[in-house]
Structure 1
Amino acid sequence: MSFESAGYQLLPVLPEIVLAVGAMALLMVGAYQGVRTTGLIVILALVLLVVAGVLELTLPAGKLVTFNGSFIVDDFARFLKIVALIGSGATLILSTEFLTDPSRRIFEYAILVLLSTLGMMILISAGDLIMLYLGLELMSLALYVVAASNRDDIKSTEAGLKYFVLGALSSGMLLYGASLIYGFTGTVSFAGISAAAKTGSLGIVFGIVFLLAGLCFKVSAVPFHMWTPDVYEGAPTPVTAFFASAPKVAAMAVFTRVALTAFPGIMPQWQQIVVFVSIASMALGSFAAIGQTNIKRLMAYSSIGHMGFALVGLAAGTAEGAQGVLVYVAIYVAMTLGTFTVILAMKRNGQHVEKISDFAGLSRTNPLLAFFFAMLLFSLAGVPPLAGFFGKFYVFVAAIKAGLFTLSVIGVLTSVIGAYYYLSIVKVMYFDEPLTELDPVRVELRAVLAVAGLFNIFFFVYPGPLVSMATVAAKSLF
């Protein structure tokens, strides 16, 4: 193989190579220089994420395939990789305060975020079952460690352990499904499976069930959501913000790619699974959150519900449905990061507060913070003209055009029920008697909140760029 052909083979994976080599280099710096380099490593990790994003955008246009078709860079992959990189970068910015605490200077934290992001990028570009599994495990193993990164806190350690045990179970199910699919089709590549799985034999259907069960765990869809509330509550808040944003993007990406490119011939079989999971997730996300008193647990149930809404678009099985999923995921990341920024900003006397009652009278003690939080909550509830409304609008329109009327009606009803608990937080902020003053909000939190909040409020003014990019990305799958 000549140097030119080797270079062309490696060109599509250049952003991933940069992240991998950069993470290894930072690990060496940390190992030799110790915890005093934590701040420097976080800054360099952010730089690496920016460089990877720039490289991703400067790759040649069109569909690039390497490693015998197991790694695909198309418009779909580019769009979601940029969203995942933004999610990871914002998480690192939100984590600076957590990492500067003298008792908790963990230089490995930023490196683990980088490695997890590398796994996400591999997952988004996976063209066969082996690459899918490699990306999924690289993403997940780093997440298990990050969940337990606050070693002195029993809740954080418990969160890491729960996530690890249940994650191992889901990996086993996914592998079993993959081995069944390989056994009945004789190939691991999505294109080969698509050609071989036109008939939908019983073995292949069983394989899909197990494969999708493993992926449902990663997007925390019902009935594989058990870990979400405990892990969200137990993990440090910046880590919870990470869990709720970037990994969801990657898991939703591979969910969509597997369903639409590996099994287009047997859509009725997997569509039933997706419709059931979607309805169950929307219903549980709406009802279970009503009784929560901890804001992080509430956000866990909220994220379960939102993944249900995103799956409505996938259930449609059309290019328009895939476009709806992409728009929804991008808006969801902005809403979630903004909300977790507000949760991180809630500090009294140097202590973080997480009870919903702690938000009482926030409109009088910090009107700007309360306004942005209220707008984010309205957006999560899907109130027009905020960004969250458009996310739901695109997935429901796609589902209606595909004839999934019952699913759409249930989706709208659960959205109305879900609005109750978002609005109850707004009521606490605006109508309850204020508690003592909050600590001043740090600069980096203000910056992230401003970007996420303004994107949410003004998305309706100019939705064109995001929607058109999502349309092009979705069409590249068909």
Structure 2
Amino acid sequence: MTGHLPSLVPVLPEIILAVGAMVLLLLGVFQGDKSYTQVTNLSVALLAVAAFVMFGEVGSSRQITFGGMFITDAFALFAKTLVLIGSGVALLMSGRYMRDHNINKFEYPILVLLSTVGMMIMISASNLMSLYVGLELQSLSLYVLAAMNRDRIRSTEAGLKYFVLGALSSGMLLYGISLIYGFSGTTDFATLAATLKGMHEPAMGVTVGMVFLMAGLSFKVSAVPFHMWTPDVYEGSPTPVTAFFAAAPKVAALALFVRAMFSAFHGMTAEWQQVVIFISIASMLVGAFIALVQTNIKRLMAYSSIGHVGFALVGLAAGTEAGIQALLVYIAIYLTMTLGAFGAILTMRRSEGMVEDISDLSGLSQTNLPMAIGIATLMFSLAGIPLLAGFFGKWYVFKAAVDAGLVPLAVIGLVTSVVSCYYYLRIIKIMFFDEPAPAFEGGQGRTVGLVVGVAAVLNSPVSFLLISPLVAAAAWAAGSLIL
């Protein structure tokens, strides 16, 4: 018994969250929905405890457990930190909105916790089987969260669309895994990498399986052409749920994408690089041009997220350690930008309820100047204006692409970034130069205002002082993936 205990240490944060979620589920069942606030606060505390335990492993070397199916390294610690932050902030922002819309169900924070467990398993997966288990644990929770507002047709529609298309993507992913296993004889990343390295030329079945695997992962990060669910799900889901979707799951899926390509298929970089370049270009183009005609701010943020996934994938397309480092820097900055932006959307409330049209921000600078400045800072950062955090994210991914010889990809990224400036700057123009619309009510409480304020500060020129530690941490994480 004693000999098996150390193997549980790397997975201790996941165990804490899973067991804690079960205990909170019992609490919710016995106390009913009146326990919503208590369960939410305890869920955030659980996320903090998991992070504390995880940071205790920072000094540890690479650890592998469960027969090589689960790995903890610097890359996993970096990505899991972002996921825990994203989940915790999304929960903190959701309180008043969920109460106002009568969807303050105790199941909500528990589903977020279980989804977070799935994300952490995804990030640490070193086997195609653990990859799938983590992915499905995350996805099943997200399907229910999307349809959380059962009395609203759009929310139910969002959950149904997400479920049907998610099931399709899972089928593609499983088919890819079966092909890879059938032609290589293994599902373990390290063994698969060694097998491919020993082949003079990869078997066609492995290549086809890898493409199907990438298609399934592309759906999870909402990359084109597997993005069709994103605008409807973002618009239909409750806004705090949309904020959660745009933050933590996106980070986890991108981290999984990177680990799978570099740990299992590093010997096939030339093959998967072509696919990544295609979906990166397609995502940047769709995100830039279709967002131009959006009038609903949540749909605009959906297409914005598709574009940002394209920018992040530029780092993966580079196929180098510098590319991984750039991608990690990018998703860390993107997390702050998107949480701040959705915090701002949560403040768009009037007496008749929540409003989501971009035109509702008209003249915000005259009715709530601090909020207008915060939103403007975030929009400038999302656009990649120099000296703001978003600029540094794009700088590093484009630099990695240029250093890898992918100059055309970097140029396309630069052009689409310029195009996307239009719809970000349009929001700023509406807030500062249009006739004021009726003022919003008191927002969603101090927590949401604090999130927007902190996100705006982190994305302001102050980011120039913070970028160096972030780049160093990302380099440390990327170095652990490339052995």
8 Å CA contact retained: 1:260, 1:477: yes
**Structure 2: which 5+ runs fail to align?**
none
Q: Cα gap change, 1:432/1:107 in structure 2, threshold over 3 Å: closer, same or farther?
A: same
Cα drift, residue 453 of structure 1? 1.2
Q: What is aligned with 2:38?
A: 40
Of residues 440-449 and 110-119 in structure 1, the stretch that sits farther from structure 2 once superposed is 440-449
> What is the CA distance between 1:101 and its match in structure 2?
3.2
Matched residue of 1:342: which SS? helix
Partner of 1:265: 267
Residue 196 of structure 1 deviates from its aligned partner by: 1.1
Query: TM-score by structure 1 length?
Result: 0.99
CA separation in 1, counterparts of 2:398 and 2:280? 12
Paired residue secondary structure (1:72): strand
- CA deviations on 1:150-171 (whole Å, 9 max, x unpaired) are 1110100000000000000000
The 5-angstrom pairing of residues 71-220 of structure 1 reads 71-101=70-100, 103-198=102-197, 199-220=201-222
SS at match of 2:472: helix
Stretches of structure 1 lacking an aligned partner (at least 5 in a row): none
Give the direction of change, closer, same or farther, for the CA distance of 1:350–1:86 in structure 2 (3 Å limit).
Answer: farther
Contact 1:83 1:330 in 2 (8 A): yes
Identity %: 58
Normalization by structure 2: what TM-score? 0.98
Whole-Å separation in 1 of the counterparts to 2:113 and 2:249: 12
AA at the equivalent of 1:11? V
Distance 2:399 2:98 in 1: 43
Tell me the distance in 2 between the aligned counterparts of 1:303 and 1:475.
27
Structure 1 position 445 matched with structure 2 position 448: yes
Q: From 218, 223, 235, give the equivalent of 1:233.
A: 235
Per-residue deviation, 1:461: 2.1
Find the partner of 2:409 among 393, 407, 410. 407
Q: d(CA) in 1 for partners of 2:96 and 2:307?
A: 30
What CA deviation, in whole Å up to 9, does each residue of 1:358-387 have, x standing for no partner?
Answer: 000001110110001011001001101110
Distance in 1 separating the partners of 2:180 and 2:194: 13
**Mapped contact 1:39–1:100 kept (Cα < 8 A):** no
Is residue 2:434 matched to residue 1:427? no
CA distance in 2, matches of 1:98, 1:347: 10
- CA–CA distance in structure 1, aligned partners of residues 102 and 209 of structure 2: 47
Rounded to whole Å, the distance in 1 between the matches of 2:36 and 2:118 is 22
Matches of 1:146 and 1:138, distance apart in 2: 13
The residue aligned with 1:297 is 299
1:437 CA displacement = 1.5
Name the stretch that deviates more: 331-340 or 191-200.
Answer: 191-200
Shift of 1:104: 2.3
Give the letter for the 1:222 counterpart: V
Instruction: Tell me if 1:253 matches 2:255.
Output: yes
- 2:14 counterpart (10, 13, 16): 16
Aligned to 1:26: 24
Which amino acid in 2 is paired with 1:449?
Answer: V
1:318-349 deviation digits (Å, cap 9, x = unpaired):
00000001000000010000000000011111
Alpha-carbon distance, 1:98 to partner = 2.3
Deviates more, 1:414-423 or 1:450-459: 450-459
The number of residues matched between the two structures is 476
Q: Matched residue of 1:149: which SS? A: coil
Q: Rate the CA distance shift 1:430–1:62 in 2: closer, same or farther, 3 A.
A: same
Q: C-alpha deviations, 1:52-89, integer Å up to 9, x for none?
A: 01111002521011011110000000000000000000
SS of aligned partner of 1:183: helix
Q: Aligned partners of 1:446, 1:24: CA distance in 2, in Å?
A: 32
C-alpha deviation, 1:123, in angstroms: 0.3
What secondary structure does 2:10 align onto?
helix
State whether residues 350 and 439 of structure 1, in contact with CA within 8 Å, keep that contact through their aligned partners in structure 2: no
Partner residue of 1:472? 476
The alignment's C-alpha RMSD in Å is 0.9
- Give the equivalent residue in structure 2 for 1:55: 53
Q: How far 1:244 moved relative to its partner?
A: 0.3
